Amino acid sequence: MKSLLSLGKEELKNELSALEEKYKEFKARDLKLDMSRGRPCREQLDLSMGMLDDRQYLTEKGVDCRNYGVVEGIPEARELFARLLEVSPDEVIVGGNSSLNLMHDTLVRAMLFGVCDGCEPWGRLPKVRFICPSPGYDRHFAICELLGIEMIVVDMKEDGPDMDAVERLCAEDEAVKGIWCVPKYSNPDGITYSDQVVWRLASMKTKAPDFRIFWDNAYFIHHLTDEEVPLKNILKACKDVGNPDRVYIFSSTSKITFPGAGIAALASSAANIKRMVKLISRQTICPDKMNQLRHVRFLKSVDNVKELMKKHAAILRPKFRLVLDTLEKELGELGIASWTKPKGGYFISFYSMDGCASRIVQLAKEAGVTLCEPGATYPYGKDPRDRNIRLAPSMPPPDELKTAMELFCLCVRMASVERLLKDN
Which residues of this protein are in contact with its own copies, per CB under 8 A?
Answer: 37, 39-40, 42, 45, 48-49, 52-55, 57, 64-70, 96-98, 100-101, 104-105, 108, 111-112, 123, 139, 142-143, 146-147, 254, 258-261, 279, 282-291
Exposure letters 37-61 (e unless 16+ CB within 10 A, then b): bbbbbeebeebbeebeeeeeeebee
263/415 with CB nearer its own copies: 263
- The whole-angstrom separation of Cα 100 and Cα 103 is 5
Strand pairing partners for 369?
33
CB of 55 to its own copies, least distance (A): 5
CB of 378 to its own copies, least distance (A): 17
258/350 with CB nearer its own copies: 258
CB of 211 to its own copies, least distance (A): 22
98/192 with CB nearer its own copies: 98
CB of 57 to its own copies, least distance (A): 8
Label the pairing between strands 212-216 and 176-181: parallel
CB of 112 to its own copies, least distance (A): 7
SS3 370: strand
CB of 117 to its own copies, least distance (A): 14
Asked if residue 233 lies in contact with residue 195, where contact means CB atoms within 8 angstroms, the answer is: no
CB of 290 to its own copies, least distance (A): 4
44/134 with CB nearer its own copies: 44
142/229 with CB nearer its own copies: 142
The strand order across the sheet containing 212-216 reads 92-94, 264-267, 247-252, 212-216, 176-181, 129-134, 150-157, 160-161
Asked if residue 316 lies in contact with residue 225, where contact means CB atoms within 8 angstroms, the answer is: no
Return the closest-CA partner of residue 363 out of 389, 343, 332.
389
Return the closest-CA partner of residue 92 out of 100, 103, 107, 81.
81
Furthest CA-CA distance within the chain: 78
231/261 with CB nearer its own copies: 261
CB of 96 to its own copies, least distance (A): 5
Return the closest-CA partner of residue 291 out of 40, 41, 46, 56.
56
Label the pairing between strands 92-94 and 160-161: unpaired
